[in-house]
Structure 1
Amino acid sequence: MCGIAGLFDTRGKRDFDRGLMSRMNDIQHHRGPDEGGYHFEPGVALAHRRLSIIDLATGQQPLFNEDGSVAVVFNGEIYNFQELVPELEALGHVFHTRSDTEVIVHAWEAWGEACVHRFRGMFAFVLHDRQRETLFLARDRLGVKPLFYALLADGTLAFGSELKVLTQHPGLDRRIDPLAVEEYFALGYIAEPRTIFEGARKLGPGESLCIRRGQPVVAPTRYWDVRFTLDNPLSLGDACAELTERLRESVRLRMISEVPLGAFLSGGVDSSAVVATMAALSDAPVNTCSIGFADPRFNESEFARMVAERYRTNHHVETVESDDFDLIDTLAALYDEPYADSSAIPTYRVCQLARKHVTVALSGDGGDESLGGYRRYRLHLMEERMRSALPLGVRQPLFGLLGRLYPKADWAPRVFRAKTTFQALARDAVEAYFHSVSILRRDMRSQLFSASFRAQLGGYDAIEVFRRHAAAAGTDDPLAFIQYLDLKTYLVGDINTKVDRASMAHSLEVREPLMDHPLVEWLATLPSALKMKGGEGKYVFKRAMEPMLPHDVLYRPKMGFSVPLARWFRGPLKQRVREAVLGGTLASTGIFNRPYLEHLLDAHQSGARDYSAPLWTLMMFEAFVRNLDRAAAPVAAGADLALA
């Protein structure tokens, strides 16, 4: 696992400043503390920070082909590199290392832009071909590894593994993008391809970008997408057997390492299945790491212990106190842009724990999206069955009126909230699902933002993120449809972002067997009835794991990796959240409507409403703004900003 950075002159062959490249590379030192490497030639500069995992002796980067005309900087792992080496050697390519990185340069020579189709793994790489005067950027299919880029006014293409790399360049347009702010307060993250800054972009999952000197910079190309065909005729028994074998292969590939390796073990189905599979593949005890919570309502460590004892792992547990909120400013600096998933706190802690014992850790991330594991899926399917009984033209006016007239009942379980149900029935599937995952709903965002900021939005609504992906979903199956949306949005923007930054902050590599793209593609062929049956999510997966895991681990209610925000904001953080939300930092942006901020605080702290998620979202935005360069102009949407 590493950090990459670089500059490319799209118009000519200027020499780039070595001091600038050093700053761009050094700011991501945490991603690769073992070594740093550079390459300079007219028109291009490449930089790399290395966390040594495979080929410790000769895997330094930038890495070159035989004649030095092709250079690559790479973050990630190509798990099938050992299969590709003999194929490329048969084509005449000569290898000088045992590194998976060298496969990339020779695959480019052999197959050009199509090389990405041959790679199985998590990756973000940038390759320079001197002969073709080309820069080629690519990101893995599921967006596990990040890649940021910016086309600057002088024709320079800048790139890096984290947004903070780009902010080191004085030419970056650091004005806050109002549309990114709208997305953040709806989703809790800023969706690809946007960043918080108007001048920077994220390369999307399964995308590549080919830039040829002297030619216009074109839009990225999507080289991969998942297709939910749902047409696999396997019986339940055969599906369970094949799923078990496919997981075994995926885990086996991810256990290749020359440094200490282990796994996260939360006590949930996914991480437990990964650990059980690792134990069957390993002669030595598996190293496992768990975080426990002092608050029993959030504590899953007992279930993790059951799995650890069954497989006799070297189990490490640390308990996080219920008031572990000192990371707020740390997280704001770590994520570079507003990010509001509060589970980033325990994720940071479990990565911190794991790094004491291993350099590589396997996780269970990605299982909920591909296997239908989220509770919200069940609720959405219930609503979809009701929506399908009446056409939209009838539902919208009827249930829209009832939704406006019926009193709110946020205190009740969702299934009994008639107002919420009526509102959901008045929407189409995209709008309904977007509404269900929004931190602040459309009506709340309208009240949250000032009139001047709403004018800057020009009518833009973050639902357009979902509508864009919905148009490419290729399925009308209710479950598959929202799985596709989550694979394109929540998995990439929230889960993968959280794990990458938290793990890299501790120089820890995390590998995700359930995001193996052949496994994801195969799961998309299974009928939805095998994923959700009788309200039970991950049905086929749980049945497949029954011989390997305790019943209580498989079939207990899902808890999630949560922290007690509601209590914090009425107790130990009561004054801090008030100062953050109503203080001068947010006021200076001109983005917010102060009376509505006061309403959110007063209603939550009085106990009348639970506004903990919106308040946390505001706190993290305030912390982000405070991390901006104090020497910049007054903070406002459209102002020129710089990360500290």
Structure 2
Amino acid sequence: MTAICARWNRDGADASETGRIFAPAARRYGRAQWHEWSDGAAFLGKCLYPLMPQDRLADPLEDTKPAGSSRWIIAADVRLTEREDLARQLSLDAGGLSDSALVAAALERWDEAAFERIYGVFAVIAWDRHGRRLIMARDALGERPLFYHVEGALCSAASMPDILLADPQVPRAPDPGQYRQFLRMNTFGPGCSALQGIRVVRPGHIVTVGTAGVEEKLWWKPDLTPLQLPEQADYEAALGSALEAAVAACLHRTAGKLGTHLSSGFDSTAIATTAARLLAAQGDSITAFVAAPRSGPGRTMAPRHIADESLLAARTAAMHSNMDLVRHVPRSGPLAALHRTRGLYPTPIANLCNLPWFEEINDLARDHGVSVLLHGLQGNTSISESGVWALRELARQRRFGTWLKIARGLVRGGWMRWRGVLFNTIEDRLPDRLWRWAMGASGQTVEDERAMSLLSPGAYTQAADAHRRAAIAAGEPEPDLDEHGRERGVTSLDFRLGALRTNGDGDMYKAMLAQWGLDLRDPTADRRLVELSLRIPVERLIWNGEPRAILRRILADRAPPEVLDNRQRGYQSADWAQSICEDRQAFIEEMERLELYEPTADFLDTARIRRLVDTLPAADSPEWDSDEAENSYRLACLRTISAASHMRHIARSNL
């Protein structure tokens, strides 16, 4: 990763000196030499963090051609996954060119249409010498961050908001409306950040700033035509090949060892085991890291979940002689590093209880000499969709023969009973009252979104309405605001594509690179792999009634039966209650600060906050092992503490 930045004074004022204000902040994210370019009113800067061998080759900002000989000047934070193919299209030799230079050549050849041809992760700022405009673009899934500020004659952009805030002309003020949306929807509004006046270039989008204004458009428009192949084995071969290519593209690096997250789930298992197989052929190895809960009382969640995923991870690692497994039990609780995390990440942490083990694994990976850490965060939206949605979709399409084949397979394989098959077929059409009864009759928990939030009733409704309006204005599908988490009227494809378009993990990866020197890479977010996954018909994912049928076949020779046949889900941070009790006083103090800071007290349910503090269970209380405690303390309280602390940090509050 790398830090890029730009400033354009649209009134023609000189930007060469003011643009250099960004350099000290940019060096937090880039360890190599600072490069800059300016023609007076426009300024581009870049601080490189070399992560690939080609990164040390000449950068476009080092070797700009005389004015008039090229149209585009670019600052790019990029890791291409298909360098050779792009070079062939450009009739260039990739051997002597950096990834940034190839992107610059692509822009010269195809202008903004170049981004459709660029495969990899990127954030690009490009200055159009001829058209006098600044364009900003991000990769399809937003694996590289990019923020911008436009006000009056000033236009500035940078990889991270703290770089923009180095300019005193860019205001530093939290946006309370966005924090309300975060506490309702787990995300900010489309294109919004935590700061007033600082916006985000959305994944797969281009933002163009000209003298007349700002224009945003979507460039990533994947082909969603259902892929029709003769046999199920053909789908397995296609996805297996794409998975291998995606993982292989993530293994290249300048130095250091390779690491990977590993759990009991399909996503991390697919990534870790595929990487191990590829590395074995090269005589190389990989270190896998897995988190385990503290010993002692924890939420049981049985029989639905696995509290300690390290046991199954060990079975997986044992199948690969070149995979070392490091099991880690977190030493600290979710509040221990709050003072640091609120200034490190541009977005509040939604699942604060997971942060200790995640960051402590970063510590371990760094100490083991790892430079690239793999994970599979986007696997649920790409390779490991279960296919259960096929039941409702096939019924809706009146494809009853295929529906019956899948239904019988699910029952025969013990995945569901017939009543479960029927429920999953019609549940999105059931009235709420009947749906709640059916959920209770089947022993499933009815989620209550309101119980997971400390927003006041009025703020809860306002945040939902604001998010709906923002999504519609941004051209995104209207979000489902059902209070029970029901997804109605959407298909598997709709749901996954929506999740992919709102991915916002790039800023976290950038922050972790700065803090730990780790390049986090997600092969399940590879554009080729994602686009293929989206085209596979949903019934093929659950062919013959076997959930994740394609991925199970792919992993059959690299993962143990205990993982492939496991029907429980991993329960991350099963010791969350224990960690809160260990930080009991700090937890109470953070809860009290929610009321003391007026901007957050204005939109929170302060009466409920006091009640939760007053009734905080003792460490040995069985009350912790309940849905009510999980909704109130793990979800509502920790998420609100995370957001409020983040908001106070931006406002420079002394609380």
TM class by shorter chain equals: 0.7 to 0.9
- Asked if residue 125 in structure 1 is aligned to residue 124 in structure 2, the reply is yes
Taking the aligned partners of 2:315 and 2:24, their CA distance within structure 1 comes to 42
- Asked if residue 628 in structure 1 is aligned to residue 650 in structure 2, the reply is yes
- Asked if residue 284 in structure 1 is aligned to residue 283 in structure 2, the reply is yes
Q: 1:66 to 1:315 in 2, by over 3 A?
A: farther
TM-score by length of 1: 0.80
- Asked if residue 462 in structure 1 is aligned to residue 467 in structure 2, the reply is yes
| Conserved 8 A contact 2:594-2:644 | no
Residues 174-189 of structure 1 aligned to structure 2 (within 5 Å): 174-189=172-187
SS at match of 1:31: coil
SS at match of 2:73: strand
Q: Which residue of 2 aligns with 1:321?
A: 330
Q: Which residue of 1 aligns with 2:2?
A: 2
User: Which amino acid counterpart does residue 467 of structure 2 have in structure 1?
Assistant: A
- Partner residue of 1:395 out of 406, 426, 431: 431
Deviation at 1:116, TM superposition (A): 0.2
User: Which amino acid counterpart does residue 270 of structure 2 have in structure 1?
Assistant: A
- Asked if residue 306 in structure 1 is aligned to residue 283 in structure 2, the reply is no
Deviation at 1:141, TM superposition (A): 0.4
| Conserved 8 A contact 1:601-1:615 | no
Q: Which residue of 2 aligns with 1:431?
A: none
Deviation at 1:522, TM superposition (A): 1.3
- Asked if residue 448 in structure 1 is aligned to residue 455 in structure 2, the reply is yes
- Partner residue of 1:619 out of 636, 641, 655: 641
| Conserved 8 A contact 2:541-2:550 | yes
User: Which amino acid counterpart does residue 307 of structure 1 have in structure 2?
Assistant: T
Residues 570-609 of structure 1 aligned to structure 2 (within 5 Å): 571-583=581-593, 586-589=596-599, 590-603=602-615, 605=617, 607=623, 609=628
- Asked if residue 215 in structure 1 is aligned to residue 217 in structure 2, the reply is no
SS at match of 2:255: coil
Deviation at 1:95, TM superposition (A): 8.0
Q: Which residue of 2 aligns with 1:365?
A: 377
Q: Which residue of 2 aligns with 1:638?
A: none
| Conserved 8 A contact 1:272-1:549 | yes
1:321-372 deviations in whole A, cap 9, x for unaligned? 3544322222211113323223333332223332342322332232111134
| Conserved 8 A contact 1:372-1:479 | no
Q: Which 5+ residue runs of structure 1 have no aligned equivalent?
A: 421-435, 636-644
| Conserved 8 A contact 2:317-2:325 | no
Q: Which residue of 1 aligns with 2:530?
A: 520
SS at match of 2:15: coil
1:94-127 deviations in whole A, cap 9, x for unaligned? 9894311101111111100101011000111111
User: Which amino acid counterpart does residue 485 of structure 1 have in structure 2?
Assistant: G
Taking the aligned partners of 2:66 and 2:358, their CA distance within structure 1 comes to 43
SS at match of 2:377: coil
SS at match of 1:144: coil
Taking the aligned partners of 1:358 and 1:187, their CA distance within structure 2 comes to 34
- Asked if residue 482 in structure 1 is aligned to residue 495 in structure 2, the reply is yes
Taking the aligned partners of 1:180 and 1:73, their CA distance within structure 2 comes to 29
Deviation at 1:596, TM superposition (A): 2.0
Deviation at 1:89, TM superposition (A): 3.6
Taking the aligned partners of 1:157 and 1:384, their CA distance within structure 2 comes to 55
Q: 1:206 to 1:107 in 2, by over 3 A?
A: same
Q: 1:617 to 1:562 in 2, by over 3 A?
A: same
- Asked if residue 238 in structure 1 is aligned to residue 234 in structure 2, the reply is yes
1:61-91 deviations in whole A, cap 9, x for unaligned? 635554465322222301212222243246x
| Conserved 8 A contact 2:173-2:650 | no
| Superposed CA RMSD | 3.7
327-336 vs 457-466, greater mean Cα deviation: 457-466
1:11-65 deviations in whole A, cap 9, x for unaligned? 42433434x634x333343422233323333112222222112225434563555
- Partner residue of 2:77 out of 62, 75, 78: 75
Q: 1:379 to 1:334 in 2, by over 3 A?
A: farther
SS at match of 2:360: helix
SS at match of 1:460: helix
Deviation at 1:540, TM superposition (A): 1.2
User: Which amino acid counterpart does residue 591 of structure 2 have in structure 1?
Assistant: V
SS at match of 1:123: strand
Deviation at 1:614, TM superposition (A): 0.7
Q: 1:271 to 1:389 in 2, by over 3 A?
A: closer
Q: Which residue of 2 aligns with 1:545?
A: 555
User: Which amino acid counterpart does residue 363 of structure 1 have in structure 2?
Assistant: H
Taking the aligned partners of 1:13 and 1:599, their CA distance within structure 2 comes to 56
Taking the aligned partners of 2:645 and 2:230, their CA distance within structure 1 comes to 51
Q: 1:502 to 1:191 in 2, by over 3 A?
A: farther
SS at match of 1:106: helix
Q: 1:15 to 1:321 in 2, by over 3 A?
A: closer
Taking the aligned partners of 1:599 and 1:235, their CA distance within structure 2 comes to 59
Deviation at 1:140, TM superposition (A): 0.3
User: Which amino acid counterpart does residue 123 of structure 1 have in structure 2?
Assistant: F
Taking the aligned partners of 1:67 and 1:95, their CA distance within structure 2 comes to 23
What percentage of residue pairs aligned between the two structures are identical?
18
511-520 vs 109-118, greater mean Cα deviation: 511-520
| Conserved 8 A contact 1:63-1:102 | no
User: Which amino acid counterpart does residue 278 of structure 2 have in structure 1?
Assistant: L
Q: Which residue of 1 aligns with 2:357?
A: 346
Deviation at 1:480, TM superposition (A): 2.4
User: Which amino acid counterpart does residue 333 of structure 1 have in structure 2?
Assistant: G
- Asked if residue 85 in structure 1 is aligned to residue 87 in structure 2, the reply is yes
Q: Which residue of 2 aligns with 1:424?
A: none
Taking the aligned partners of 1:484 and 1:362, their CA distance within structure 2 comes to 22
- Asked if residue 270 in structure 1 is aligned to residue 267 in structure 2, the reply is yes
| Conserved 8 A contact 2:172-2:650 | no
| Conserved 8 A contact 1:565-1:613 | no
Taking the aligned partners of 1:546 and 1:461, their CA distance within structure 2 comes to 46
Taking the aligned partners of 1:304 and 1:390, their CA distance within structure 2 comes to 34
Deviation at 1:375, TM superposition (A): 11
Deviation at 1:246, TM superposition (A): 1.5
TM-score by length of 2: 0.79
Q: Which residue of 2 aligns with 1:14?
A: 14
Taking the aligned partners of 1:555 and 1:324, their CA distance within structure 2 comes to 33
Q: Which 5+ residue runs of structure 2 have no aligned equivalent?
A: 296-305, 394-418, 481-487
Deviation at 1:538, TM superposition (A): 2.8
| Conserved 8 A contact 1:290-1:304 | no
Taking the aligned partners of 2:508 and 2:545, their CA distance within structure 1 comes to 28
Taking the aligned partners of 1:26 and 1:616, their CA distance within structure 2 comes to 33
User: Which amino acid counterpart does residue 48 of structure 2 have in structure 1?
Assistant: R
Residues 89-238 of structure 1 aligned to structure 2 (within 5 Å): 89=91, 97-152=96-151, 154-212=152-210, 214-218=211-215, 220-226=216-222, 228-238=224-234
Taking the aligned partners of 1:353 and 1:391, their CA distance within structure 2 comes to 44
Q: 1:57 to 1:361 in 2, by over 3 A?
A: same
Taking the aligned partners of 1:524 and 1:96, their CA distance within structure 2 comes to 33
Q: 1:234 to 1:183 in 2, by over 3 A?
A: farther
User: Which amino acid counterpart does residue 124 of structure 2 have in structure 1?
Assistant: F
| Conserved 8 A contact 1:270-1:367 | yes
Deviation at 1:244, TM superposition (A): 1.2
SS at match of 1:255: coil
Q: 1:145 to 1:56 in 2, by over 3 A?
A: closer
Taking the aligned partners of 2:239 and 2:100, their CA distance within structure 1 comes to 30
Taking the aligned partners of 1:533 and 1:64, their CA distance within structure 2 comes to 54
Deviation at 1:536, TM superposition (A): 5.8
Q: Which residue of 2 aligns with 1:555?
A: 565
1:174-202 deviations in whole A, cap 9, x for unaligned? 44334312221023332431112221111
Q: 1:60 to 1:318 in 2, by over 3 A?
A: farther
Taking the aligned partners of 2:38 and 2:576, their CA distance within structure 1 comes to 48
